[in-house]
Amino acid sequence: MSEVITQQDREYESMEHASAPGASQPMQDRVNNRSLRPNSPTFKKFMTTGWDNQEPDIQPLESSRYTGERLRRLGERFPGERIVIPAGQPKVRNNDCDYAFRPDSAFSYYTGLGQDYEAGAVLVLDPAVQGDDGDSGATHTPMLFVAPRADNSTEDYYRDPHYGEYWVGPRAGLRELERMTGIETHDISQLPDSLGKDVGTESGAVRLRVIREADPSVTSLVEGIRSSHGFDGGDDGTQADDALHEFASEARMVKDSFEIREMRKAVSATKRGFDRILEDLPAVIGRPRSERMLEGAFNSVARELGNEVGYDTIVASGRHAPILHWMRNTGVVEDGEMLLIDAGVEVESLYTADITRTFPVGGRFTPLQRKLYQAVLDSQQAGFEAARPGATYSDIHHACMRVIATRLHDWGVLPVDVEESLSPDGQQHRRWLACGVAHHLGLDVHDCAQARYESYQEAKITPGMIFTIEPGLYFAQNDLLLPPQMRGIGIRIEDDVLMTENGPQWISSGIPKQIDEVEQWMDERARAKA
C-alpha cells in the first residue's frame, strides 16, 4: 500500500527539526517518521504544473428522478425545521488503514448516491422562507455540502490522501455531484454557517434535527449550535433526532420502481455468486479452510458485478451450519455434509439481496437430509402463502413456526404437543429455530431497523414492500435432546419477496431450491467448471 500524507504530515513538515535525536516527540507526530517527503518550494511548483485535466464524465443518476419525491415527503413531515443527514466518514480498521467507505443508508436514500463518492458529505433540508419557492409549495430546499475537487490545480492534488486526485483519481466535486443528484451543492466549509442560520428558541426560529449516528463530528456541530442558540441539553435534542431517524427508516418500507429494479439486479448478481460457489465446490472438498475458498468465490462476484457484499458472507459446513451467524468460515467442507451459505450482492446503488441456500456437499441429499430440508421448504412456503396485502410479519412468522413445530413433533423431537409449544407460554420448538423468519430488505440487509415495533411487526404488509422469508432448523452438534444422526445439521432456506397488489412474488425464483432442482443445479455448475 502506498504511504499516505496526512494533515499531521503537513504540519510536521512545516516545523523546524531543531530538537536533538531522542528528544521527546508527541505521539501523534510519530506516524510521520516512516518516510521522507519532499517539501521544497521548487517541488510544490513542479507538482502543480504540466498536468492534463482529468474531467470526470458525469451524467444524472437514474435515482435522481426519484429522490425529489422522497425529499418532499421528508420535508412535509418536519416543516420549518432544518434537517441534517450526513453521509458519514471512513471508519478506521487499524492504525492508518480505513475500511472501504460506505455512506449512511438514509443519506443514500435521500440523495440517490451509492458507492463511495461522498465521504464527509452532508445533506441539509433548509426550511423554505415564505415566497422563496413561488407557487411550488415546497417546504424545504435540499442542499448538498461536499468537499470540492482537489484536482491538479491545487496543492491538495498530491498532498491530501482522502480527496487529492493524485491519490484517489478523478472524483466528483460540487459541480459533478449537483449534476448527478439534481440537488443544489455547496462547499462543505459553508456547512457551519448554513446550519446556524436563524436557529433559536423563539417563535418562528429554526430548529435542527440530525441523523445522530451517521457522523459524530456533524452531530457534535449540531449540538454546539443548539447550545449556543439557547437550546438546553438533555433528551429534547435526542428525541427530536430519533424521530427523524425513525421517519427516515419507515419511509423506506415501501419501495418505488427504481428500488425494485435495483433489488432485482442484486438478486441476479447473487445468483451468479452461488453459481461460482457451486463451480468451485468439487475442487475444495476436504481442503483446509475450504469454507473460505467458497466465500472468496462468492465475494469475487460481488466485486465484479456490484459494489460489495451486502453483509459478511456465511459459509457453514457440517457442524458449523447450525451456528446462526458463523462468519469465521475457517472450516473444512466435507463430503456427505450439509453446506449452508447465506450471501447477498450489494449493487452500486447499495441495494442488497439476502439469499440462503443449503446444499448436500456431495451433490445428492441423503434420505435424512431430504426429510429435514423438505420440512424447512414447506415452512417457507407456508409463510409465503400467509403473506398477503393486509397480513403482518407476525402472520408469516406463525405460519412458518406451525410447520416447524408439527414436524418436530412428528419426528419425536418436540417434548410437548404442537399447540402447547406454539402457545406464548410454551415455545419449546424455538430451541431449534430461535431467530425470526422475515425482515425488510433494501439498502440494509435488515432494512428499516429504526422503525417502531407497531410499524414493523404489527403493521400491515402493503404492495411495494420487499422482505425475506427464511425459516430453518438448527440442530447443534452438542444437542443431547436430538437423535445422534440429526446432530450437526443446519438448514436455512431464504428468499426475497416483493409484495404486489395481487399478492407476494418471489424475486429470487430463479435461484433453485426444490430438492431435485438443487441437485440438478449442482451437477450443471460442476460440469460447467470441469
In the chain, DSSP finds a helix count (H) and a strand count (E) of 17, 17
Kindly give, in sequence order, each residue whose CB lies less than 8 Å from that of residue 339, ignoring residues fewer than 6 positions away. Answer: 281, 294, 315, 316, 317, 321, 333, 358, 359, 360, 361
Q: Give SS3 for 338.
A: strand
In terms of Cβ atoms closer than 10 Å to its own Cβ (0-12, 13-18, 19+), residue 461 is buried
C-alpha span between 523 and 517 (Å, rounded): 10
CA distances from 239 to 87, 99, 204, 235, 253 (A): 21, 30, 20, 6, 22
530 confidence band (pLDDT: 50, 70, 90): confident
pLDDT digits (tens, 9 = 90+) for 340-360: 999 999 999 999 999 999 999
7 confidence band (pLDDT: 50, 70, 90): very low
Q: Beta strands of 306-462 (E only): which ranges? A: 308-309, 314-317, 338-343, 345-346, 355-360
Residue 246 has pLDDT above 70, yes or no: yes
Q: Give SS3 for 210.
A: strand
Residue 15 has pLDDT above 70, yes or no: no
Query: Global pTM?
Result: 0.92
Which of these ranges, 15-24, 79-88, 376-385, has the smallest mean pLDDT? 15-24
Mean pLDDT for the chain?
A: 92
Residue 128: how many other CB atoms lie within 10 Å? 17
pLDDT digits (tens, 9 = 90+) for 478-526: 999 999 999 999 999 999 999 999 999 999 999 999 999 999 999 999 9
Q: How many residues does the chain have?
A: 530
pLDDT digits (tens, 9 = 90+) for 18-46: 344 555 778 777 776 777 778 899 998 89
What's the pLDDT at 37?
Answer: 76
338 confidence band (pLDDT: 50, 70, 90): very high
What's the pLDDT at 235?
Answer: 58
What's the pLDDT at 14?
Answer: 43
C-alpha span between 146 and 87 (Å, rounded): 10
Q: What domains can be seen in the chain, in order of their start residue? A: 64-250 (3.40.350.10), 257-529 (3.90.230.10)
pLDDT digits (tens, 9 = 90+) for 189-202: 999 999 999 998 78
Which of these ranges, 146-155, 241-250, 458-467, 511-520, has the smallest mean pLDDT? 146-155
